[in-house]
C-alpha cells in the first residue's frame, strides 16, 4: 500500500466523506478517500430524497450533471387505517425552478459525487475496510489500519465518515454503543414499473416526481413508511425503531408486506416487479445523541455522528454540510500546522452555528415521544382513530352531525388514553417535541 | 405482489467471502436467551435457532450489513465486523 503520508484520510465515500474529501482536495491538500464497498455507494441506502441547497454550496448547479431520478413537485402525507387513509399533501409548480429536491438512487449518485472528489485530486482507495485507527498514545489519531497487506496509512487528520454503525467512532469512544432506541431499521424495495404507469398513477409529467410519507400500519411500532417515484422504479420502504422491533417479534419485511397489501398502496405498485430488496440502519437519536465531533487528529461526520433529521427525512444534505465544514476546518488546520483539538474544535463550533445543530435541536424532544409506551398509541391507535372519525363524519347514515362529532371526539380521546385530558396532554407533548 | 424472503434475497447482488464476518461468541448464551429475538429482527433471516442441535446458525452469506444484530442482541453475543473489502453486499440501486 502507498507508504506516502497524507494531509488527510477520509474513511467512507458516502455523502459526508466525499464532501470532506472534495473540499480538501480542491484546496490542494493531499487526500486519501477510503471506501469498503466495491465502489462508492455499493453499500449505501436511503429513501431517498436529495436536496439541492446544501450541495450547491460545494458544487454550484451540481444537479445539472448529477444522475437524479425525478424532480419532486408534490409531497404527500398519508395516515393509514387498516383499509383506509386520511391524506394531506402539497403540490407546487414553484418546486421546479429552482428545484427543491429530487428522488435518487445511491448506486448512481454516490459514484458521481465521489468522481468529483477524485477529479479534484483525492486518491480513491476502494474495496478497503478500515479495521482501526492508528493512535499515538491514547489521545492522538495518526492514521488508519486497513485489511490490505501492509495496509497502514498515516495522515495529519483522519475524518471519520464510516456511517451509522461507525465502528471507528466506537473505537474513539466518542459514542458508547448505540442503543436500540437510537436507531431504526429501514427495509426497502425498488419496484420496477414503466414510466408511463408511474406518471399516470401519480399524476406526473415526465421528470416530475412525488413522495408519500406514511404513518400508521407499522404493526404498532414507532416508524414511518415511504413511497417515492423514480424514473422507472418506485422506492417503497418502512423504517421502525429497533427497540420496538426487538419487542414485537415481527420480521421487518413482514411490516413491508403489510404495507404492500394495503388497498391504497396495492393499486399503485400493481404489476411492478421487485428489482432489489435492501436494508439499513438510520440514526434516530437526534440532538441528544450527537457525540463529541473532534479530537486530536480527527473529526467525525454524517450518520456516524447521528446527523439525521428524522422528522423531515433529511440526512444526505446534513451529511454533505458536515463533511464540507470538517473539510474547511482541516484546511485551516493544514495552514496553521496544528492538528490538535485546539484547532479542530472549530469544527464543533461550525456545526453548532449550522442548520444541522439548529434543526436537530428543534426536534430534540421527539426521541422521548417515541418511547415505547407511546408508540402503539401514536403509530397505531391514533392513525386508526383519525380514519374512523373521518369515516363517520363523511358517512351519511341518518345520524345527526352533532352525534357524529361527539362520537369522533370520543374515538380520538380513547385512542390517546381514555381521559379528557389525555388527548390534550398528547397534543402538548407532541408540540413540545417538535419545538424543543 | 407478496414476496417471500428467499425471493427478496435473490434480488441482491452478493460476493460472499469464504469465512463469516459474523460470529456467535458463545452458543451457551443463545441457549439461555429467553427471547432469541435475532431470529425475528434480522431483515435477511441470517439467524436461526436449532432446538435439537442447541445452536444458532449464521447464514452470513445473506447478511446485508445493516448492524441491527450488533445493537439488538440483548447480550451483545454477536461479534460483528464488516466483510473484507469488496465482499458482501453490492447494491444495484441503493
The CATH number of the domain holding residue A44 is 3.50.50.60
Closest CA to A377 of A415, A412, A403, A405: A415
Q: Per DSSP, what are the bridge partners of residue B77?
A: none
Contact A253 B15 (CB under 8 A): no
Mean pLDDT of A279-293: 91
Which residues does chain A have within 8 Å of residue B35's beta carbon, measured at their own beta carbons? 246
Q: Per DSSP, what are the bridge partners of residue A144?
A: A133, A153
Tens digit of each residue's pLDDT (9 = 90 or more) over A122-166? 999 999 999 999 999 888 999 999 999 889 999 999 999 999 999
Contact B43 A179 (CB under 8 A): no
Residue A299 has pLDDT above 90, yes or no: yes
Q: Is residue A22 part of a domain?
A: yes
Residue B11: what are its φ and ψ, rounded to 5°?
-80, -5
Asked whether the beta carbons of A283 and A303 are under 8 A apart, the reply is: yes
Give the separation between CA A436 and CA A365, rounded to whole angstroms. 6
By residue range, what is the domain housing residue A145?
Answer: 6-69+104-175+291-362
Residues A350, A331 share a domain = yes
- Report the chain A residue with the minimal C-alpha distance to residue B76: A177
Which residues does chain A have within 8 Å of residue B82's beta carbon, measured at their own beta carbons? 36, 129, 167
Residues A301, A268 share a domain = no
Taking the model in full, what pTM does it have?
0.94
Residues 6+ apart with CB under 8 A from A321: A19, A54, A57, A354, A355, A356
Q: Is residue A370 part of a domain?
A: yes
Which residues does chain B have within 8 Å of residue A270's beta carbon, measured at their own beta carbons? 1
- Report the chain A residue with the minimal C-alpha distance to residue B40: A251
Residue A436 has pLDDT above 70, yes or no: no
The pairing of beta strand A130-136 with beta strand A101-103? unpaired
Residues A248, A341 share a domain = no
- Write down the ipTM of this complex: 0.96
Contact B71 A281 (CB under 8 A): yes
Residues A357, A399 share a domain = no
Question: What nine digits make up the cell of A98?
Answer: 429552482
Among the three residues A343, A362, A381, which one is the final residue of a domain in this structure? A362
Phi-psi region of A245 (alpha: psi -120 to 50; beta: other; left: phi over 0): alpha
Q: Is residue A36 part of a domain?
A: yes
The pairing of beta strand A208-215 with beta strand A223-229? antiparallel
- Report the chain A residue with the minimal C-alpha distance to residue B41: A251
- Give CA separation, A168 vs A32, A165, A349, B81, in Å: 17, 9, 22, 11
Domains of chain B, earliest start first: 5-82 (3.30.70.20)
Tens digit of each residue's pLDDT (9 = 90 or more) over A162-203? 999 999 999 998 877 888 989 999 999 999 999 999 999 999
Give the separation between CA A144 and CA B51, rounded to whole angstroms. 43
Among the three residues A283, A305, A329, which one is the final residue of a domain in this structure? A283
Closest CA to A320 of A32, A8, A22, A26: A22
Residue A26 has pLDDT above 70, yes or no: yes
Q: Is residue A97 part of a domain?
A: no
B40 touches chain A (CB under 8 A): yes
10 Å CB burial of residue A51 (0-12, 13-18, 19+) is buried
Amino acid at each position: 500500500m502507498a507508504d506516502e503520508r497524507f494531509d488527510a484520510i477520509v474513511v467512507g465515500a458516502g455523502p459526508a466523506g466525499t464532501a470532506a474529501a472534495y473540499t480538501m482536495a480542491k484546496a490542494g491538500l493531499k487526500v486519501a478517500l477510503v471506501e469498503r464497498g466495491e465502489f462508492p455507494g455499493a453499500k449505501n441506502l436511503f429513501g431517498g430524497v436529495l436536496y439541492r441547497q446544501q450541495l450547491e454550496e460545494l458544487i454550484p448547479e451540481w444537479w445539472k450533471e448529477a444522475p437524479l431520478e425525478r424532480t419532486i413537485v408534490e409531497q404527500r402525507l398519508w395516515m393509514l387505517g387498516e383499509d383506509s387513509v386520511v391524506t394531506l399533501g402539497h403540490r407546487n409548480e414553484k418546486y421546479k425552478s429552482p428545484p427543491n429536491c429530487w428522488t435518487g438512487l445511491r448506486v448512481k449518485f454516490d459514484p458521481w459525487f465521489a468522481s468529483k472528489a477524485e477529479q479534484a485530486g483525492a486518491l480513491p482507495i476502494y474495496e478497503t475496510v478500515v479495521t482501526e485507527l492508528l493512535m499515538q498514545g491514547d489521545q492522538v489519531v495518526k492514521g488508519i489500519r486497513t485489511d490490505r497487506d501492509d495496509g497502514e496509512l498515516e495522515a495529519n487528520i483522519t475524518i471519520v465518515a464510516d456511517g451509522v454503525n461507525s465502528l471507528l467512532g466506537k473505537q474513539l469512544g466518542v459514542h458508547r454503543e448505540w442503543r436500540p432506541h437510537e436507531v431504526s431499521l429501514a427495509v426497502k424495495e425498488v419496484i420496477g414499473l414503466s414510466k408511463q404507469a408511474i406518471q399516470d398513477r401519480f399524476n406526473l409529467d415526465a421528470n416530475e416526481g412525488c413522495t408519500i410519507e406514511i404513518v400508521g400500519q407499522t404493526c404498532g411500532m414507532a416508524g414511518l413508511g415511504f413511497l417515492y417515484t423514480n424514473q422507472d422504479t418506485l422506492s417503497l420502504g418502512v423504517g421502525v425503531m429497533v427497540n420496538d422491533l426487538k419487542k414485537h417479534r415481527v420480521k421487518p419485511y413482514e411490516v413491508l408486506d403489510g404495507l404492500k397489501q394495503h388497498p391504497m398502496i396495492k393499486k399503485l405498485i400493481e404489476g411492478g416487479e421487485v428489482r432489489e430488496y435492501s436494508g439499513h440502519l438510520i440514526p434516530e437519536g437526534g440532538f441528544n445523541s450527537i457525540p463529541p465531533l473532534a479530537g486530536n487528529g480527527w473529526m467525525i461526520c454524517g450518520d456516524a455522528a447521528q446527523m439525521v433529521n428524522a422528522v423531515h427525512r433529511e440526512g444526505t444534505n446534513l451529511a454533505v454540510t458536515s463533511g464540507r465544514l470538517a473539510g474547511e476546518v482541516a484546511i485551516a488546520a493544514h495552514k496553521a500546522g496544528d492538528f490538535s483539538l485546539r484547532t479542530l474544535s472549530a469544527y464543533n463550533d461550525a456545526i453548532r452555528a449550522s442548520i444541522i445543530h439548529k434543526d436537530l435541536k428543534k426536534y430534540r424532544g421527539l426521541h422521548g415521544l417515541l418511547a415505547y409506551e407511546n408508540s402503539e398509541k401514536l403509530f397505531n391507535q391514533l392513525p386508526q382513530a383519525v380514519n374512523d372519525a373521518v369515516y363517520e363524519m363523511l358517512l351519511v347514515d341518518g345520524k345527526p352531525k352533532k352525534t357524529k362529532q361527539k362520537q369522533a371526539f370520543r374515538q380520538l380521546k380513547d385512542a390517546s388514553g381514555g381521559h379528557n385530558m389525555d388527548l390534550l396532554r398528547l397534543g402538548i407533548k407532541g408540540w413540545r417535541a417538535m419545538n424543543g | 405482489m407478496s414476496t417471500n424472503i428467499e425471493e427478496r434475497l435473490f434480488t441482491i447482488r452478493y460476493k460472499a467471502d469464504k469465512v463469516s464476518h459474523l460470529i456467535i461468541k458463545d452458543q451457551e448464551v443463545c441457549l439461555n436467551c429467553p427471547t432469541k429475538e435475532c431470529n425475528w429482527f434480522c431483515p435477511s433471516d441470517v439467524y436461526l435457532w436449532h432446538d435439537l442441535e442447541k445452536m444458532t446458525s449464521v447464514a452470513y452469506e445473506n447478511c446485508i450489513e445493516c448492524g441491527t444484530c450488533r445493537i439488538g442482541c440483548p447480550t451483545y453475543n454477536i461479534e460483528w465486523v464488516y466483510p473484507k473489502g469488496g465482499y458482501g453486499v453490492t447494491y444495484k440501486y441503493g
